[in-house]
Amino acid sequence: MSDIKTVAVVGGGIGRSHIVEGYLTNKDKFKLLAICDLDPARMNGLADEFGIERRTAQFDDLLAMGDLDIIDICTPPMVHYPMVMAALAAGKHVVCEKPLVGSLAEVDAVIAAEKQARGRLMPVFQYRFGDGVQQAKAIIDAGIAGKPYVATVETLWRREADYYAVPWRGKWRTELGGVLMTHAIHQHDMLTYLMGPLKSLFGRVATRVNPIEVEDCVSASVELESGALASLTATLGAADEISRLRLVFENVTFESDHEAYSPGNKPWTILPRNDDTRAQIDALLEGWQHVPQRFETQMALFHAALVSGGPLPVTSADSRRALEIVTAFYHSSETHSEVTWPIGPDHPKYESWLPAGA
């Protein structure tokens, strides 16, 4: 049996980048079988560009395709949940863009559905992949970095009227959140990926940049399970755009590249505390195998997991962690109180954080 998996991409915005960066770079692993988009011009433009015969505006058509292995959901956030649930119920493997869904209740329902499903689900967090972030991960996992002390995480981006001209953006019901859900979610995932889960958060959110419903400036003080402290700040009103993580461990300080949309790619600044640590790092990284950035590696690892039955590179548990941070931020800001983990069904914002009437 061939190991090549067939894919349908739903939504031709970031979906185009999944094709270019993720599937065409892994031609020995994936075959593009279908394109689905409500917008006929986008659907046909993309299908023509990549020579894909099968095209449909009806998501349900994909569910009935017996020769289709993977449905890759790149639609606006409000339709992720029904699409993920339907695709899993139809026995498909699923890739889904961030934010996976719009509440902790929904992510728990997805996790439960996944346990019963034939297919597997991989949420997208492509910023995890690239030499910089993966080298930091390797050094931390090897125990060389030591005890985590503090971190700063900045997502200082710029979004203006042209961005919000797309009708689903900026609104609670369709985007489901603002800079927390759509932008900073990547860098916040990188923090937990490298330093571990959170224990408590005191945060504030505000809408200060654009005339939108959802927040576009946030800041929080957090404590990690390890006892490490971190500050998270994000805005969509910066003059220039950077993403930056600076992680201070007992033996090593790491600083990410500042490239806004691929801070994991280029080699990071790695500052060992002493020569012994430097020697350990040099030994670990000797003969380092290049890790291509973003979707190229995430899709390659997805394929490997499907073929081997091994672990997925990003999981629904990772999405839950990301959505816990979103939930905690909104609740803390609204109540001016600290939110502590775990965040379960008894939390006031477990079912939804959308404002009443949204």
Q: Which two tokens stand for residue 159?
A: 């979004």
CA-CA distance, 200 to 213, in Å (whole number)? 26
Q: Identify the residue among 5, 7, 11, 256 touching ligand NAD (CB under 6 A).
A: 11
Minimum distance from CB of 228 to ligand NAD (Å)?
26
Select 84 or 139, whichever has its Cβ closest to ligand NAD: 84
Nearest-5° Cα angle at 257, 255 to 262: 130
Residue 290 is given by DSSP the state P
Q: Identify the residue among 45, 76, 196, 292 touching ligand NAD (CB under 6 A).
A: 76
Residue pointed to by tokens 């339907």: 86
Judged by CB under 6 A, does residue 74 bind ligand NAD? yes
For residues 145-184, which are near ligand NAD according to CB under 6 A? 166, 182
Secondary structure class of 320 (helix, strand, coil): helix
Residue 265 phi, psi dihedral angles, 5° rounding: -80, -70
Judged by CB under 6 A, does residue 141 bind ligand NAD? no
Judged by CB under 6 A, does residue 102 bind ligand NAD? no
Select 168 or 341, whichever has its Cβ closest to ligand NAD: 168
Select 51 or 167, whichever has its Cβ closest to ligand NAD: 167
Q: Identify the residue among 4, 63, 65, 79 touching ligand NAD (CB under 6 A).
A: 79
Residue 17 phi, psi dihedral angles, 5° rounding: -70, -35
CA-CA distance, 181 to 186, in Å (whole number)? 9
Q: CA distances (Å), 199 to each of 20, 212, 226, 247, 349, in order?
A: 38, 31, 8, 17, 17
Q: Are strands 93-96 and 70-73 parallel, antiparallel or unpaired?
A: parallel
Q: Which stretch binds ligand NAD (CB under 6 A): 36-44, 85-93, 103-111, 309-317?
A: 36-44
Select 14 or 109, whichever has its Cβ closest to ligand NAD: 14
Q: Which stretch binds ligand NAD (CB under 6 A): 35-43, 222-230, 281-289, 303-311?
A: 35-43
| 34 closest CA partner among 19, 47, 16 | 47
Judged by CB under 6 A, does residue 10 bind ligand NAD? yes
Judged by CB under 6 A, does residue 22 bind ligand NAD? no
Q: Which stretch binds ligand NAD (CB under 6 A): 7-15, 197-205, 237-245, 246-254?
A: 7-15
Judged by CB under 6 A, does residue 36 bind ligand NAD? yes
Residues 123 and 319 sit within 8 Å (Cβ to Cβ): yes
Select 180 or 209, whichever has its Cβ closest to ligand NAD: 180
Judged by CB under 6 A, does residue 63 bind ligand NAD? no
Residue 263 phi, psi dihedral angles, 5° rounding: -70, -10
Minimum distance from CB of 344 to ligand NAD (Å)?
25
For residues 269-328, which are near ligand NAD according to CB under 6 A? none
Judged by CB under 6 A, does residue 126 bind ligand NAD? yes
Residue 61 is given by DSSP the state H
Beta bridge partners of 231: 152, 221
Helix axes 131-141, 275-285, angle to 10 degrees: 120
Question: Which amino acid is located at 75 in the chain?
Answer: T
Q: Are strands 269-272 and 252-255 parallel, antiparallel or unpaired?
A: antiparallel
Select 122 or 270, whichever has its Cβ closest to ligand NAD: 122
Number of residues that bind ligand NAD (CB under 6 A): 22
Residues at the contact surface with ligand NAD, assessed by CB under 6 A? 10-14, 36-39, 42, 59, 74-77, 79, 97-98, 124, 126, 166, 182
